[in-house]
Structure 1
Amino acid sequence: MIKFKSISSLSVLLLSSITLFAQQSNYKFKFGSGKVPAGYVLVSEKSTFKPEKGYGFEPGTPVNVALSGGKDLIKQSTITAGQPFYFSVNVPEGNYKVTLTLGDAKVKTATTVKAEARRLMLENITTKPGEFVTKTFIVNVRNPEISTGAMVKLNDRELNSRSWDKKLTLEFNGAKPSVAALELTKVEDQVTVYLAGNSTVVDQRAEPWASWGQMIPRFFEPGVAFANYAESGLTLASFKGQKRLEKILTLIKPGDYLFIEFGHNDQKMKGENDGAWKSYTDNFKYYIAEAKKKGGIPVIVTSTSRRRFDENGKTINTLGDFPAAAKKVAADEKVELIDLNAMTAVLYDALGVEPSKKAFVFYPANTYPGQDKELADNTHFNSYGAYELAKCVALGIQQSNLGIKKFLVPGFSFNPSKPDAVTDFAVPPSLDMDLVKPAGN
């Protein structure tokens, strides 16, 4: 009986510490070994994530400690690895300011940072031996619970995604990733951009698939957070039916944005009341009206073009009246429009018929382990294609009257008729891989 009471007391104490850790709004971690600055938690190479602890490296990604000496406790040691590694922290839902100290005392480093399900936050941050840099960005963390008591309906693939768990996960990638310290602070002052869309928008969780919604954070400074609620295969109606819109509407505050891009799956709906000028138009108007009731700013994004060319090498519109219907709704409702459909047609034409495959999931058999068949997809993008599309959306924001354009990274510019060369694209692939095609076409 005494033993049982002792175990119970220990369990209560452990659960209490977990709860307290999960309820924090500020977290500071020092990586490596040695003395720890006041207020920081030491994270060694053996700190594996466990739910009861609340933080640590994800299993299966071994890391190493690099020592430097010196008097600066933050820079005395770093964590590095020869492959991508992942660090997670249990946190409540919300927006977090992430501040990283990157570098190494003895060697040059090159670190790319992704968050949650492969959201690109920092691209190829390099340091010379002995140089350390501090970088800050904003990450949105969400879960399926809705304040009304309802739940967002997740599909099987989403249940295994970092996008919907109760952790903030950072992926450290690149030629020589090296991190010395991390600070997470829950912030309430960020403008949040909620993304509603399908497989061309969603945070694709695994290589070789990618979408613009997970690349666009790269082009914005702190001040704006992107909350990507999109999912493959969805329409305006099914996004609403899965309570994703309801979840957004419980969180959106005056001055936040709702970007809406649908069409690829909507055009396959064949009911009596379906079509570009019926249910598609009506649902768009519903989204806009509901967002405005909350003080949100709705923005319509026309659907990305599919990769299909005519005999003259020009992109063909495969979306029928849906882009035109989206434009008409934007005009009628007096909301901003980003014509991604038109910009992507220009982009594909500029790339050319065969070279444009480099922006999509086109890979010969045996490119990836276990891939015994060719991958040939004219709708879904790889990381390079998603990166170029994100630049198109960022350009649309830059050319608009939207207030968030002030948060674009300094010097941003892009011309879809002059896309980046695929040979210059250097965002390293993540470890997660899935050869199953995302839903939708």
Structure 2
Amino acid sequence: MKPFYIIAALLTGFLGYSQIDSYKFDFGSGRAPKGYLNVTPQTIYSEQTGYGFEPGTMVEAVTHEDKNVTSDFITGKQPFYFSVRLPEGNYDVKIILGDIRGTSATTVRAESRRLMLENVKTTWGNITEQTFTVHLRDSLIREKGKVADQVRLKKNENRNFHWDNVLTLEFNDSLPKICAIEITPNKKATTIFLAGDSTVCDQPGEPYASWGQMFPVFLVPGKVALANYAESGETLKAFENEKRLAKIWSMAKPGDYLFIEFTHNDQKDGPNHLDANTTFKDKVKEWIAEAKKRGMVPVLVTSTHRRKFDAEGHIENTLLDYPEALRQTAKETGVALIDLNAFSKTFYEALGVEDSKKSLVHYPANTYPNQPKALEDNTHFNPYGAYQLAGYVMENIRAQKLPLAKFIKKEVPVFNPAKPTPPATFYWPQSGAKNSRKPDGN
């Protein structure tokens, strides 16, 4: 998020939304059909227009004919970003991809690298329409349409794309070809809100990633939106004190879900420390009760293990009693539990001591910009590890036959942590955003 957007968001909150919340864009240099806005390589985002490519984007237009939105497209050799100013909420985004005289391959991510479409390929001369549902928010907390408070964001969050009134789409892959985009509000979709820490949040730059930002690609478009409110370094107390939970309450409606996953930072000494078997459980129960009061469905998620093997090749528990405390809390309150702690143990041990590094941020020095030292992080995942963990969350929902299972795409394959997808076969075209600085927390 650009610093200017904070001011824009504040003004929008006080003055009321005046921007359009539905758009149709025709990408290319040909004439835009009626009802569409023309987007050319020279269409750069500005506050005046409210849409366009992010500054510095390098793309080119290809025009075959001048008949309709599929007659031309925009492509790029590097990841490129297109932004649209919108009021906060859920939106269905339809993207028309392909080339009437060629092939294409496109991956689409939203906001800060939230995976929405994965390696969509079109054969020669074919066009495809792909839809996903995305959640957009700002940092203002509104009550009855008026600004009542604001989330206390960290300085680094102001540079990210996911706390402003601008939907940013990243187009990536070996041959992305974008013919058109249509954006419409979706006020009926169920929203899954994620509350958690650095192992859950939308990590803004390569090589870091978290399971929460991979999960949207598994979800049925139009029916459900993933709202990832997790942030690096958070504890239960800090998340609440910084008004992040209040923001969720202000956005949620009956029937929405609240996933709660904390531990890594709660266990540390300091003002935000909570004891696993007393104050931690009590605080989680408070959240559960409030969610139920609001007609939401709370779900507890145990935190992923840190990668620490014993002499016999088994994962050691460095999270003390916190995962077990969540298991007990789930039983005591009757809410669903996704035991990602157990899944991650099986996953690491299946990969083994050395190959398990390939699921985390372990890279030699100078692999990424401004990275003079090797990265050896045994807590935070790379895209491969994050994708596998998201798959295990999804698989646990299906295995328990939770109501959420109806929101998972039928074509999604089985994810078995005892037999993980080999790291070498995982495909991930890297984003343009790079950030080798370790996220807050550990």
On whether the aligned pair clears a TM of 0.5, the verdict is yes
Offset of residue 107 of structure 1: 2.1
Counterparts of 1:375-390 in structure 2, within 5 Å, are 375-390=375-390
Q: What corresponds to 1:177 in structure 2?
A: 176
Q: Is the 8 A contact 2:369 2:434 kept in 1?
A: no
Q: Is the 8 A contact 2:235 2:272 kept in 1?
A: no
CA RMSD of aligned residues (A): 1.7
Q: What corresponds to 2:434 in structure 1?
A: 433
**Partner Cα distance (1:390, 1:267) in 2:** 24
Q: Which region of structure 1 is more displaced relative to structure 2, 366-375 or 92-101?
A: 366-375
Q: Is the 8 A contact 1:224 1:404 kept in 2?
A: no
Amino acid at match of 2:193: Y
Higher radius of gyration, 1 or 2:
1
**Partner Cα distance (1:320, 1:215) in 2:** 27
Matched, 1:63 2:62: no
**Partner Cα distance (1:237, 1:21) in 2:** 32
Q: Which region of structure 1 is more displaced relative to structure 2, 34-43 or 185-194?
A: 34-43
**Partner Cα distance (2:21, 2:298) in 1:** 30
Q: Is the 8 A contact 1:361 1:382 kept in 2?
A: yes
1:277 is paired with a residue whose SS is helix
**Partner Cα distance (2:30, 2:204) in 1:** 35
Unaligned runs of 5+ in 2: 1-10
Offset of residue 369 of structure 1: 2.5
Counterparts of 1:248-397 in structure 2, within 5 Å, are 248-269=248-269, 274-397=274-397
**Partner Cα distance (1:407, 1:136) in 2:** 14
Deviations 1:313-350 (A, max 9, x none): 11111111101000000000000000000001000011
**Partner Cα distance (2:169, 2:305) in 1:** 32
Unaligned runs of 5+ in 1: 1-14
Amino acid at match of 1:79: I
Deviations 1:206-247 (A, max 9, x none): 111100010000111111101111000111111001111111
Matched, 1:85 2:80: yes
Q: Which region of structure 1 is more displaced relative to structure 2, 345-354 or 62-71?
A: 62-71
Q: What corresponds to 1:52 in structure 2?
A: 48
Q: What corresponds to 1:424 in structure 2?
A: 425
Q: What corresponds to 1:216 in structure 2?
A: 215
Offset of residue 273 of structure 1: 8.2
Q: Which region of structure 1 is more displaced relative to structure 2, 340-349 or 392-401?
A: 392-401
Partner of residue 99 from structure 1, selected from 94, 98, 104: 94
Q: Is the 8 A contact 2:208 2:382 kept in 1?
A: yes
2:277 is paired with a residue whose SS is coil
**Partner Cα distance (1:420, 1:267) in 2:** 32
Q: What corresponds to 1:7 in structure 2?
A: none
**Partner Cα distance (2:38, 2:22) in 1:** 15
**Partner Cα distance (2:278, 2:401) in 1:** 29
Offset of residue 396 of structure 1: 1.4
Matched, 1:200 2:206: no
Q: What corresponds to 2:4 in structure 1?
A: none
Distance 1:274 1:407, change over 3 A: closer
Q: Is the 8 A contact 1:22 1:90 kept in 2?
A: no
**Partner Cα distance (1:100, 1:142) in 2:** 21
**Partner Cα distance (1:305, 1:334) in 2:** 24
TM-score w.r.t. length of structure 2: 0.93
**Partner Cα distance (1:98, 1:248) in 2:** 22
Amino acid at match of 1:186: P
TM-score w.r.t. length of structure 1: 0.93
Amino acid at match of 1:351: L
Deviations 1:169-213 (A, max 9, x none): 100000011100000001111000000000000000111110001
Matched-pair identity in % = 50
Q: What corresponds to 2:25 in structure 1?
A: 29
Amino acid at match of 1:85: F
Offset of residue 22 of structure 1: 5.1
2:120 is paired with a residue whose SS is strand
Q: Is the 8 A contact 2:89 2:136 kept in 1?
A: yes
Offset of residue 250 of structure 1: 1.4
Q: Is the 8 A contact 2:234 2:265 kept in 1?
A: yes
Q: What corresponds to 2:406 in structure 1?
A: 406
Moved over 2 A (4+): 19-25, 269-274
Q: Is the 8 A contact 1:111 1:126 kept in 2?
A: yes
